[in-house]
Amino acid sequence: MLTHDVVQSEAALDAWLTAAAEGGAVALIDKEENWTSFDVVAKLRGMLRIRRIGHAGTLDPLATGLLVVCVGKATKLVDRFQEQPKVYTVTIKLGATTETDDRGSEEQVRQGASQPDTATIAAALQTFVGTLHQTPPAYAAIKHGGRPQYDLAREGKAFTPRPRVVTIHAITDVRIDWPFVECTVHCSKGTYIRSLARDLGEILGVGGYVHQLRRTMIGELSVDQAVTVDTLRSKIPMKATA
């Protein structure tokens, strides 16, 4: 498995490159902001000269953090990684909404809304712990009628996102400093943190959206083990990318 420690060791990196080319391998990537998950896959394809690469769990362009990338024959492991629970750290901004439920679109301030106190915000946040029906954001990679919802939304097509059953196992490390709420969310696959931010804002009557989002864990895998694409590029011998 390609991790930070492997990248720092020339011998281990050479072994990983050989495994990736011959039998398949897994890379833990710390995705940067403003890259799509497919951008990461495309960059690795170019660097490794291996076509068969897939990621296990999409991250929004504005989200950072752990992306598990399966290379070669290891793509058969994608479903296994996708099934694993996830952990995110998120900063939610209350008092406004956006069309995309994150800061990727223009903020619309909720006029006339009363600022709830800290205890009310904290209590409302905990109501999301458990199994619930969650409606994905309109701008989401999930497909509707065979097409990604974000394509339909960008084209102005009318559609109603379908709720899905997800589980939020815990919401911890809550810090509130109006209008921002920081917390750590432990959840099942398929959970949209943007939906959590949006729904929290609606419960409080003030609106809300994701201001910052970082995935820190997938199952037992941690972003602390991951390597950035730029670091990987700097370490791969020229012979591997020629």
SS3 labels along 105-174? CCCEECCCCCCCCHHHHHHHHHCCCEEEEECCCCCCCCEECCEEHHHHHHCCCCCCCCCEEEEEEEEEEE
The backbone torsions φ and ψ at residue 100, rounded to the nearest 5 degrees and listed phi first, read -95, 0
Report residue 241's pLDDT band, with 50, 70 and 90 as the boundaries.
very low
Cα 212 to Cα 102: distance, rounded to the nearest angstrom: 8
Q: Which residue is it, tokens 């059953």?
A: 165
The single-letter code of the amino acid at 36 is T
pLDDT tens by residue, 99-127: 999 999 999 998 888 899 999 999 999 99
Fold designation for 4-83+220-241: Alpha-Beta Plaits (3.30.70)
Cα 31 to Cα 63: distance, rounded to the nearest angstrom: 8
Contacts of 7 (CB under 8 A, 6+ apart): 13, 227, 231, 232, 235
The single-letter code of the amino acid at 206 is V
Report domain extents, the chain: 4-83+220-241, 86-218
How high is the pLDDT of residue 176?
98
Contacts of 141 (CB under 8 A, 6+ apart): 58, 148, 149, 150
> What rounded mean pLDDT belongs to the chain?
92
Neighbouring C-beta atoms of residue 214, cutoff 10 Å: 20
pLDDT at residue 12 is higher than 90 = yes
How high is the pLDDT of residue 242?
37
How high is the pLDDT of residue 144?
67
Cα 87 to Cα 81: distance, rounded to the nearest angstrom: 13
Mean pLDDT of 35-40: 94
CA angle 211, 127, 91 (to 5 degrees): 15
How high is the pLDDT of residue 83?
96
**From the candidate CATH numbers 3.90.25.10, 3.30.2350.10, 3.30.2130.10, 3.30.470.10, the one assigned to the domain spanning 86-218:** 3.30.2350.10
Query: pLDDT over 70 for what percent of the chain?
Result: 93
Is the model more confident about 36 or about 148? 36
Are 4-83+220-241 and 86-218 in the same CATH fold?
Answer: no
Catalytic site residues? 60
Q: Label residue 107 exposed, middle or buried (CB < 10 Å: 0-12, 13-18, 19+).
A: middle
How far is C-alpha 63 from the chain's CA centre? 6
pTM above 0.85, yes or no: yes
